[in-house]
Amino acid sequence: MKLIETILNSFDPISLGQMEKVKLLNRMDKKFCFSAHRLQDILKQLEPHYFILKIENKSINCYKTLYYDTDDYKFYHSHHSGKLNRFKIRHRTYVENDKSFLEIKYKSNKDRTHKTRIANKNIPLVLDETTLPFIESKLNVSAHSLSPSLWVNYNRLTLVSKTSAERLTFDLNLEYIKNEQKLPLSNLIIAEVKQEKKQVSIFFNLMKSLHIYEGSISKYVMGIALTCPVKQNNFKSQLLKLSKITYANSHTLTSH
């Protein structure tokens, strides 16, 4: 991590306030997965072209996220069955700036991601009257049927393009927590490009040159597939890819 931090210190910084113009709550997402040992070289090649987000003078920030689903994992199965209009509900805490939100992510059949959220300081283990109106105004599912399903925690570094409306995030030190047990995937890096519309990207070109190819992966659904006895036939290729990168399939949940 020290070497990564040294490389990040060579980036020009951008503040959270300055990044507001590229919030991209309505966007197109593209994801890439690769082994952690490749991150240093990738960052070195990106340094001239991107700013680094710094929060409280830190370039690597901690995200703690609790996802909600029904008892039969309705949101997971929507993704597994390939449903084009699908939702995820989560409570996310941005540790460094001490901000928390209840968020709904909607993936449309136009391959666009829409995110809406409300400030919510306390992590709701039970969705109550303060959160029900927000959830039920967006979903055709009763909020009373939802309960916490999985913790997904990780560190994130965020780059902002110097030339276009593009954000690039790298998630590392991924850890799933289910029923007070944890599954770490410390060798996995998930990179995600967020753009208002599809456009030329220095990062896309770099991935192509390194033979790292786009692959749709949801941290939530992969976490459920790895920690719960659910149907996962349609995720076999993604799970195999994860296994090759992290040996994730050989891990077992350990006490937290």
Predicted TM-score (pTM) above 0.75? yes
pLDDT the model gives residue 25:
57
Reported as a pLDDT band with limits 50, 70 and 90, residue 144 is: confident
Whole domain around residue 65: which residue ranges?
2-255
Q: What is the mean pLDDT of residues 182-188?
A: 93
Cα dihedral 239, 245, 247, 252 sign: negative
Determine phi and psi for 186, rounding to 5 degrees. -75, -20
pLDDT > 90 in the chain, percent: 57
pLDDT in tens, 59-100: 999 999 999 999 999 999 999 998 878 899 999 999 988 899
Average pLDDT, the chain: 88
- 70, two tokens: 């029904």
pLDDT in tens, 201-227: 999 999 999 999 988 778 999 999 999
Q: What is the mean pLDDT of residues 40-58?
A: 95
Per the structure, how many domains does the chain have? 1
CA triplet 28, 33, 39: central angle to 5 degrees?
Answer: 110
pLDDT in tens, 224-234: 999 999 999 99
pLDDT in tens, 4-48: 999 999 999 999 888 876 665 566 788 999 999 999 999 999 999
Rounded to an integer, what distance in angstroms lies between the CA atom of residue 209 and that of residue 71? 43
Tell me which long-range contacts 117-125 makes (C-beta under 8 A, separation of at least 24): 120/91, 123/66, 123/91, 123/93, 124/91
Neighbours of 175 (CB within 10 A): 17
pLDDT surpasses 50 at 248: no
Cα dihedral 113, 128, 131, 90 sign: negative
pLDDT the model gives residue 252:
42
Describe the chain by its helix, strand, coil percentages, rounded to 5.
30, 40, 35
pLDDT surpasses 60 at 191: yes
Q: What is the CATH number of the domain that holds 198?
A: 2.40.320.10
